[in-house]
Amino acid sequence: MSAAPSPASGQPRAHDAAVAGMFGRIACFYDLLNRLLSLGVDQYWRRVLARNVTLGQGGVVLDLAAGTLDVALAVRRRHPTAMVPALDFCPPMLSLGRRKLKGHNARCILPVAADAKQLPLPDASVDCITMAFGIRNILPREAAFAEMLRVLRPGGRVCILEFGSGQERIWGGLYNFYLNRILPRVGRLFSKDPAAYVYLADTIRAFPTARKLEEEMLRSGFAHARHFKLTSGIVCLHRGEKASPF
């Protein structure tokens, strides 16, 4: 069994490599465990994310931490004209996602292995950015926010889906019981890398509250930042906008 990376220790490059390797090892179980651990509600969360996407004249929606491309597909279902570059730093996840691409989606969803802190895109080139359950794995987050702002067109929006912080009591503490006891056991039962699900629980516990993440986004340069609680705050949708000159 491989050791999971610590959510709060190590240099960013070492952390990035450890997280990419960990997701590569669990890639073949990822979709199954998402459905199982969320009781299928993860698909609803992604639909909400897609509903908050805004398209400009360019029609480009950048999906970061794209994984097995479920968000990119949800965006295309909601916005059939969108072009969706789908970036992730774990190639095995993208390889599995490519198997889902048929017809127009195979031409309009563009999977690319890349780092969210060094995006291979020109300045002001995308209308909207989505990210589901990825910002928690990026250190430092400020570097990712800076890149998001760089590639967004003025007036563009970022939509980030992330688990609620384990620092808050959700459902009278049942959420924390789930994180501490249930999540690691289910991961151990189904995954070849059970340490990955210990890491998942640890990063959720260490993640800032939704209000603090809003403050981080504002300090990073977003003109507006707000959040919406989904499923009693088990997941939050964070939205930020790049300032428009008009």
In a domain, 107, yes or no: yes
* pLDDT the model gives residue 246: 64
Both tokens of 217, joined, read 């986004």
In a domain, 44, yes or no: yes
In a domain, 198, yes or no: yes
pLDDT at 53 over 90: yes
In a domain, 147, yes or no: yes
In a domain, 7, yes or no: no
Rounded average pLDDT over 157-178: 75
Distances (CA, A) of 12 to 9, 39, 87, 143, 145: 9, 33, 19, 11, 15
Which conformational region is residue 86 in: left (phi greater than 0), alpha (psi within -120 to 50 degrees), or beta?
A: beta
161 forms beta bridges with 132, 237
| 152-163 vs 126-132, strand pairing mode | parallel
What number of other Cβ atoms are within 10 A of residue 73's Cβ?
Answer: 20
Choice between 166 and 237, residue whose per-residue pLDDT is larger: 237
Choice between 4 and 39, residue whose per-residue pLDDT is larger: 39
In a domain, 4, yes or no: no
In a domain, 134, yes or no: yes
* pLDDT the model gives residue 244: 84
* pLDDT the model gives residue 3: 43
Q: Residue 86 is part of which domain span?
A: 12-241
**What is the percent of the chain where pLDDT is above 70?**
87
* pLDDT the model gives residue 170: 63
Coil, strand or helix: which one is 105? helix
At position 207, the amino acid (one-letter code) is F
Rounded average pLDDT over 212-226: 96
Both tokens of 244, joined, read 């428009």
* pLDDT the model gives residue 1: 35
CATH number at residue 206: 3.40.50.150
Continuous segment of H or E residues that includes residue 14: helix 12-38
Q: What is the DSSP letter of 83?
A: B
| Burial class of residue 189 (count of CB atoms within 10 Å of its CB; 0-12, 13-18, 19+) | exposed
* pLDDT the model gives residue 230: 94
CA distance 139 to 15: 8
Coil, strand or helix: which one is 18? helix
* Share in percent of the chain as helix, strand, coil (round to 5): 50, 20, 30
pLDDT at 191 over 80: no
In a domain, 6, yes or no: no
Decide if 99 contacts 31 (C-beta within 8 A): no
Both tokens of 122, joined, read 């020109």
Give the pLDDT confidence of 54-107 residue by residue, as tens digits: 998 889 999 999 999 999 999 999 999 999 999 999 999 999 999 999 999 999
Q: pLDDT grade, residue 175 (50/70/90)?
A: low
Q: What is the DSSP letter of 130?
A: E
* pLDDT the model gives residue 9: 46
Task: Tell me if the pTM is above 0.85.
Answer: yes
CA distance 241 to 217: 10
pLDDT at 42 over 80: yes
Report residue 60 CA to chain centroid gap: 18
Number of compact structural domains in the chain: 1
Both tokens of 24, joined, read 């590569």
Rounded to a whole number, what is the largest CA-CA distance in the chain?
A: 54
